[in-house]
Structure formats: structure tokens, C-alpha cells
Amino acid sequence: MKQKKIRYFSPQEIQGRKTKEAPKENVLKCSVSKTGRLSIPQNVQEELGMDSSSTKFKVGTEDRKRQFKTLFLIPAGQDDQDAFDLAKTGRGQTISLAGVFDKVGLDYATQQHEFTIKPFSQEGVSGYALQLVDESSPRQKPEGGGRRGRKKASQTEGSQA
């Protein structure tokens, strides 16, 4: 068997090279359902430190802007009439914002939209800023799959004969 030649490196040789980059910040995202509900996954809530006891949020956008790009969620008290309710779903929570999305011109029924979430604070008010991701794609049925459930008796008999 032929011996392999091995080239060894020294610390001085690689000193001028670029070291590993700092780890990227985790991007937190939420999406809009076909029915106009803003879905916030449980892992995003935990990462942001969202208080699970606050079940109402005030919802707003930037004033005097032509295009809708940012949505603001501010925790509100239980007695606030202008706040939207947060509803528990499987692994997260949703806020029904179909009317808000209609008003700002967001087509949630045929387009799939995502938001990036970041905490914000302004003039003593703290909440969450949701930035609309520009890349929207048409809603499509997932590929593949096929029939679910048991096969009909006529299908199994016909294939065996």
C-alpha cells in the first residue's frame, strides 16, 4: 500500500485568515392563515418572552403610510374594548385580524404572507413589531399525498383478482 503524504498546518500560517463568523440572530416568524388569522407559534412566544396571561392585544400600523409594511401588537388589559382577543390553538395562539388585513389591502385568501417579529419600545409603550416579508407566494395545495384512510373493499378485491 502506498503511503500518503500529509501536509501539516502551523498556527502562524492560518493567523491571517478569517475566523468563524458570529452566529446569526434567530429570525422569529409568524404567518397569516387563509381565514385572516395571525398565527404565532409557541416557540416564537417563548423566544420573545410573551406573557401568556395577556390575552388581548391592541393592533396598529404606521400612520399616514401608503403601503402596509409593519403591524404593531401592544399588550392590553382585559377591560380594553379596542383590543383583539388572543385564542389558543394547537401549538400556538392566533389573533383574528381579517378585518384589519382587508382594510390595509393584504390579500390573505390567495397569497401566503409571513411576518418577522421583533420587540419594540417607543414613548414608554412596549410591544411587538411585525415586519411584512416581501416574498409572498400563492397558496397551493401540498404536492403528493393521495387518498387517506382505508382502501375501499372494491379496490382491494379488484387488484387481487
Of 130, 132, 129, residue with least CA distance to 106: 132
| Entry pTM | 0.66
pLDDT of the chain along its 161 residues, tens only?
678 777 777 777 767 666 566 566 678 889 898 999 999 888 888 888 776 666 788 888 888 777 888 888 888 888 888 888 888 888 888 899 988 888 888 888 888 889 999 988 888 888 888 998 876 666 666 666 667 778 777 755 555 55
Dihedral angle computed from the Cα positions of residues 64, 137, 94 and 65, in that order, rounded to the nearest 10 degrees:
0
**Structural contact between residues 93 and 86, judged by C-beta atoms closer than 8 angstroms:** yes
Return d(Cα 111, Cα 10) in angstroms, integer.
55
Residue type, position 98, single letter: A
C-alpha dihedral sign at 118, 122, 127, 128: negative
